[in-house]
Amino acid sequence: MPTSEIRRAMRAQDRRRFLPPEVAGEHHRDAPLPIGFGQTNSQPSTVADMLTLLEPFPGMRVLDVGSGSGWTSAILGELGGPESAVFAVELVPELVERSRAAIPQSWVSVHQARPGVLGLPEHGPFDRILVSAMGDALPRDLVDQLADGGVMVAPWGDVMHRVRRGTGDLEVTDHGGYRFVPLRDTRF
């Protein structure tokens, strides 16, 4: 998908709608903005970079891990269109409720993360998985939720990675240094 289409989708899902009132006036800044609970709404240029690497397409089945405010989930819904299925998963209950209220598309659903489970394996496999929190290593539990030919974009070890699942193999590429809030393991 061209970068221009990603930028159009980002504009269509106005960032202000996903921000707390105290920072909504800063929606235009290319910076991460606090949304409470130690979480942030990611920097727009980072979101654009991640979505470009993800290669979204109409009708995709996608998982958004660490969905926070719901902004990237709504953008994924915009890019996938009504034929798609976007599953967002978030650990903080208040952010789950807030993002459910902010996301306008019926084909985007926000789920509460469950103890002991990373992602939403019962809804997989997914064509695309986007992870918006920093892990320590390749999240194998999420790789298991990728369909053959699927793509995951996830940061770990302070580097953005793109993972493509082939038949029996993984192609992992590095795409520069990034900073994110930590991926909190629900298993502990």
Catalytic residue among 4, 42, 84, 109: 42
Residue with tokens 């038949």: 167
Rounded distance, CA 151 to CA 128, Å? Answer: 5
Rounded distance, CA 65 to CA 183, Å? Answer: 9
Which of 164-167's residues contact partners 24+ apart within 8 Å by CB, and which partners? none
Active site (annotated) includes residue 109: no
Q: Closest by alpha carbon to 32, among 71, 3, 73?
A: 71
Rounded distance, CA 154 to CA 86, Å? Answer: 17
- Contact by Cβ (8 Å): 164, 150: yes
* Residues assigned a catalytic role: 42
